[in-house]
Structure formats: C-alpha cells, structure tokens
Amino acid sequence: MAFAETFKALSDPVRRQILELLKNGRLSAGEIGGHFDMTGATISYHLSVLKKADLVRENKVKNYIYYELNTSVVEEIMLWLSELKGGTNS
C-alpha cells in the first residue's frame, strides 16, 4: 500500500465524508453527489483520488458505476496506526 497516496486522499474533508457515506454500502456517483453542493466533475475528481489510493472500488452495473469502500486498505491503515501507537494485538 502506498501510504502517501492514502494519507493524501484522507487529508480532504470531502473525501472523508464520501468514505463515511460508503461505510453503509455501495452508492452511485449520482447518489454520492446528492450529498454535496458541488459539480459532478468535482465529485468525479474526489472519487478518482480515492480510487487511486485504493480506498474505494468501482463496480459497473448496466449504465451505472457503483462505488464501495475497500475495507482491506482501511484495515491495513488501522493495523499500522495501532502498531505505531504501540498497541498490542495479542
């Protein structure tokens, strides 16, 4: 995992809000965009950054693209932060 890209993606509050939305299940770009007062192009940019960091996955169904949280990357980040903090995993 590229931590630089991951933390860059997480540094933006809009992208963090998108991840919060996706924790409840997959959403289309339009459904995600409905939660924000910004253009579709801006939502697309944020989704692109999240995909590049591998924090979200996309799945095409007919004419729609659905986005979902990539929990394995989130778990890797949590494990790394726990180890950094000195947490015990036993």
Closest CA to 50 of 79, 25, 29: 29
Q: How confident is the model at residue 23 (pLDDT cuts 50, 70, 90)?
A: very high
State which amino acid sits at residue 7. F
Q: What is the pLDDT of residues 40-69, one digit of tens each?
A: 999 999 999 999 999 999 999 998 999 999
Give me the residue label for tokens 């590229």: 2
Joined together, the tokens standing for residue 29 give 């770009």
Joined together, the tokens standing for residue 76 give 């890797």
pLDDT at residue 9 greater than cutoff 90: yes
Contact 15, 50 (CB under 8 A): yes
pLDDT at residue 21 greater than cutoff 70: yes
pTM: 0.85
pLDDT at residue 35 greater than cutoff 70: yes
Q: What was the pLDDT predicted at 76? A: 87
Largest Cα–Cα separation, the chain: 47
